[in-house]
Amino acid sequence: MASPITQVHNPADQNHSINNYPQKSKKDATKSKRKKIFKALFCCFSEQRLVSKQELTNVPTSDSLMKPMSPNLLGKKTLVLDLDETLVHSSFKPVAKADFIVPVEIEGQLHQVYVSKRPHVDEFMQAISQKFEIVVFTASLAKYADPVLDLLDPNRFVHHRLFREACHHHKGNFVKDLSRLGRDLKTTIIIDNSPTSYLFHPENAIPIDSWFDNENDIELLDVLPLLDSLTQVDDVRTCLDENNLMESTIRIKQLESPNSTTTTSLNLFK
């Protein structure tokens, strides 16, 4: 039975046998992530490199996934956010301190989904609400993600919601093709815990660690200074592409491996 939720494997969960790329220790991963954010932030304050990216710049087309930008948002950059393990973590197993319990019907049977909010997600959403056109782009199904977003975003900061059917299925993975959004790639940013999701546009990505249950997590707060600085640059890729080049190259090689599986639709009903 396919799950409506698309998640990465929790390395602390020994109940699921899933092939995944090697996980760094939490300490090493946190140090590495802070280093990357600092590097990108420094780049934003430095003189922008004279690199031609015209061939990567996108313009709206008739088959765009989103409608043209609202007049009140003109001039703002587009921030694409992942949902699962980026903003929330969901489980079909009861969670004592779940923030929401969302009923989801699957094959005629009603299941309860226990949803926990990532620490500081409310503060994060408030902080970005006046600075960006906000898009939540998830590889999960709408029948799960839509009610979760209704509860997560009561102030309706999110301007667009995109679900699994909007993803590009590439070698068994759900890839979020930013060129189909109908927005200029120079002004489009994606924050996602899965490198596979931004495989086509790593130069637009801010990686974030997967979140499962760490109550001391501050990743969403850590990324705010970088987002603030990106609002001031003409082309966000001048700050982000160097930051992600090595990681993306490694990830592409992993995807080309015949045994590679990363972002996995977990069957949690076994």
CA angle, 162 then 145 then 161, to 5°: 25
Structure tokens at 190: 């994606």
Q: Which residue in 13, 28, 63, 84 is the catalytic one? A: 84
CA distance 143 to 104: 7
Structural domain harbouring 235: 33-44+74-256
Does residue 108 form part of some domain? yes
Q: What CATH number should be reported for the domain holding residue 90?
A: 3.40.50.1000
Q: Which residue in 82, 177, 235, 241 is the catalytic one? A: 82
Cβ atoms within 10 Å, residue 86: 23
Does residue 14 form part of some domain? no
Average pLDDT estimate for 7-11: 69
Number of domains in the chain: 1
Does residue 132 form part of some domain? yes
Cβ atoms within 10 Å, residue 132: 22
Does residue 219 form part of some domain? yes
Does residue 153 form part of some domain? yes
Check residues 127 and 258 and name the one with the higher pLDDT: 127
Q: Which pLDDT belongs to residue 270?
A: 23
Q: Does the annotation mark 84 as catalytic?
A: yes
Average pLDDT estimate for 22-37: 51
With cut-offs at 50, 70 and 90, classify the pLDDT of residue 25.
very low
CA distance 263 to 270: 19
Does residue 250 form part of some domain? yes
Q: Which pLDDT belongs to residue 241?
A: 79
Reply yes or no on whether the pLDDT at 156 is more than 70: yes
Structure tokens at 23: 């996980």
CA distance 41 to 227: 9
> What is the CB-side half-sphere exposure of residue 157 using CA atoms within 13 A?
22
Query: Can you tell me whether residue 220 is helix, strand or coil?
Result: helix
Does residue 175 form part of some domain? yes
Full-model pTM: 0.77
Q: Does the annotation mark 184 as catalytic?
A: no
Does residue 135 form part of some domain? yes
